[in-house]
Chains A and B, each alone.
Chain A
Amino acid sequence: MSTAPQGTHSLAFRVMRLCKPSFHVDPPFRIDPADLFVGEDIFDDPLAAANLPPILSTQLSKSMDSSDLTYGNRFLLQHPSDAMGFSGLLLLPQSFGAIYLGETFCSYISINNNSNFEVRDIIIKAEIQTERQRILLLDTTKSPVESIRAGGRYDFIVEHDVKELGAHTLVCTALYNDSDGERKYLPQFFKFVVANPLSVRTKEITYLEACIENHTKTNLYMDQVEFEPAPHWSATVLKADELHPAYNSSTGEVFKPPILIRSGGGIQNYLYQLKLASPDSAQMKVEGTNILGKLQITWRTNLGELGRLQTQQILGTPISHKEVELQILEIPSLINLDKSFSVHLNLTNHTDRELGPFEVRLSQDSVHGEKNVMINGLQTMVLPQVGAFASSDFHLNLIATKLGVQKISGITVSDTREKTFDLLPDVEIFVESD
């Protein structure tokens, strides 16, 4: 990962990514003497039950006596939970690992003098170079390191909040006087790539469903996922009832099960109900755009390592400005095959001028194929004019020609000049036999 130029340098950079350490886990082959010296059912024998325990506990205490130099701790169990192989021993990061947008890059940098002579007046710089910018992390120009003795070191730790995707280079440079008094320049480069940890997909009506998918190699503990609505919206998060209610163990403790998104493609969905802050703001909706707000996501990985991201503005579907709207108010609960049934409809004029007269018909749309629910009687219903911001109720007689789940579809309202105002969305009905 590092590229250093040719030529003899007294100094060299060594770099190690310093993300949080991890707990070492490895269930061991350690046993209880009672499971090795004797048969497993021997304690059924009252003689054994009485005489064995002292021998066994002597063996155990022998192994725990650290002045008796044995490796009994690698062979015998000293506490029951030793079997887990999880003692709390921490392990340094063993590889660079993957780094994701929103995380903090932290690195230990050591500059070693591996020559036999002292070097002096060392100006050290560390920078992160990306496609777009160069960010200075460390610069000792104002107070250069006086000297590093032969075999000595100067260490520092740098941190950088990763805000860009793609190729990054940690550029470490040292400007120093070597033993000959020559001023030398050592650049070293350490490359890494920043990837996208999450993808957020949204679906909404006045409900916003966000689906967060984990692209990283570790599980993510979702600390906070909050929706920040745009100014004229308010949002409430909707949660399902917990499958496992909060525990109330013998000491009265409450446990909140963690939200963990599994690595490599795991998904967690969040649902928000959005309401307009005030009725007036309906008038503020601009045709074609509808900004709902942003998602703020905070997550934690190993030992609480923090990451955070904000999505871009999430847009609602553009509000189409309907002049005339057709709605179903009531459908009979029992619909029989080949028997006429009446559907109660409403037509609303959303404009500020009188519109109509109207025609309501079943559109002959070849895409929907053969229709199993048709208008019974005159195929076109004529409705008189409707005033500004007013509405009118009417009934339509329909008939179903097939059993089972059928769709009422294609009911259209237009004016007498063939301009279509609205298409009623498909409605499902259940058709029973007589």
Chain B
Amino acid sequence: MDGPSPTTDPLRNEFGSLNDLAHELASLQDLALRGSWRSILDKVSRARSLDLLSKPHDHLIYLSYNVLALTKLRRFTDASAEIDSLHDFNSHQYKYESYPQLYPSRSGSMVPFSLRFIHAQLPFKLENRQEGLDRFYLLLSFIRQKIKEKGSNSFQESIKIWRKRENFVLHCLIGHHLGAKDFIVCLDLIRDLIDHDYLDPVLISKLGYIQMQVGDIEGAKGSFHRVETMFNEGKNDGYSSLSEVEFRNLVNRNKALIYLVGKDYVSAVREYEECIERDHTDVVAVNNKALCLMYLRDLSDSIKVLENSLERVPTVALNETLVINLCSMYELAHVNHSEIKRTLSNWIAGVAPDDFDASCTRA
């Protein structure tokens, strides 16, 4: 086809900025980053009622943000209903080639992949774990089929993206099996990835955590040793793109866990402090250090560590697990703990994103 070169055509700048991709996408994205999911619902509703969405892909992208917002606000039934309103992801009405005037010389599905992901994950939140697993495994074979098809057409960038999605779904599956304590399946899935040369130090560390959870301490040590070797050999292939600080902290945190399991909490605290010194936003190190202090009978300092992190780096430290831990500590430290928990709840209400589950304070 005779046309402008793919990279420079000022008249056809379809990809200059976010707003070129969809109507006011930059604003939607900004709201999402702030966790203002209620505002997103408002914005989508407004755009729909004022008929501001002209193209089919705009509708799909807005629907995706809407579904995601409903999910974040824990309105899982509503989210499910909205996805179901599309009926069939693979329908020709969601294909670029069905609208040749709008998308000349473009073909394929315009469904944002996150909709397929959310569709697979929602059943878990609706107490239907088996359905969720089935959907994820079906999604996995769908992705693998796509990769095969793209391969025969040699769409390099596309194949890269679909392979990323394949890994993504595998990681979701490992997480869900882990949540259900299907440890053998998890270990098999991870080994499968590793044996196919997917050598992500973060994944191998997580293999170690699973081995530890199960009680196989020697196995965990082996996995952590492998990660440390990868660090020392400067191996950090493209999989996880860890910065040097992140990689160092990972190694330290793994060491800390071994100490923790061996009840050497003093050494564990020392490892975590090294992490925090290097990167004060390492919330896993902060949280776990606080727990170690508690096991060292220092409840006061464990509370201080968590409170300080919330104050210092709220957008990183504010997560439900850390808050649950802090509240458990309050319940132990104070006979009348409702007051202090209420103070915490009020502070959270002023700072937290819409999707924060405030019930975790048990206030």
Contact = CB atoms under 8 A, between A and B. Distances in A.
A219 B214 contact: yes
B14 to A, nearest CB: 7
Given A44-B155, A92-B294, A81 B183 contact: no
A41 B331 contact: no
Contacts of A22: 213
B106 A45 contact: yes
A167 interface: no
A40 B206 contact: no
Interface in B214-237: 214-217, 219, 222, 226
Interface in A69-117: 69-77, 79-92, 94, 108, 110, 112, 114
Contacts of B145: none
B179 A27 contact: yes
Contact of B108 (A39, A66, A70, A263): A39
A66 B313 contact: yes
A110 B117 CA distance: 46
Nearest to A112: B335
A255 B175 contact: no
Interface stretch (A10-18, A125-133, A366-374, A381-389): A10-18
Given A71-B315, A86-B178, A50 B171 contact: no
Interface residues of B, number: 122
Given A92-B294, A304-B217, A46 B6 contact: yes
Interface residues of A, number: 94
A89 B213 contact: no
Interface in A14-59: 14, 16, 18, 20-27, 29, 31-32, 34-53, 55, 59
Interface of B: 6-7, 14-15, 17-18, 21-22, 25, 29, 32-35, 57, 60-61, 64-65, 68, 71-72, 94, 96, 105-114, 116-118, 121, 124, 150, 153, 155-158, 160-161, 164-165, 167-168, 171-172, 174-176, 178-179, 181, 183-184, 187, 191, 194-195, 197, 200, 202-203, 205-206, 209, 211-217, 219, 222, 226, 239-242, 253, 257, 260-261, 281, 283-284, 287-288, 291, 294-295, 297-300, 313-316, 318-319, 321-322, 324-325, 328-329, 331-336, 353, 355
Interface of A: 12, 14, 16, 18, 20-27, 29, 31-32, 34-53, 55, 59, 62-63, 66, 69-77, 79-92, 94, 108, 110, 112, 114, 153, 155-157, 219-221, 223, 247, 249-251, 253, 255-258, 260, 263, 299-305
11 contacts: A36-B112, A37-B112, A43-B161, A44-B150, A79-B240, A80-B168, A86-B175, A89-B288, A110-B299, A304-B215, A304-B217
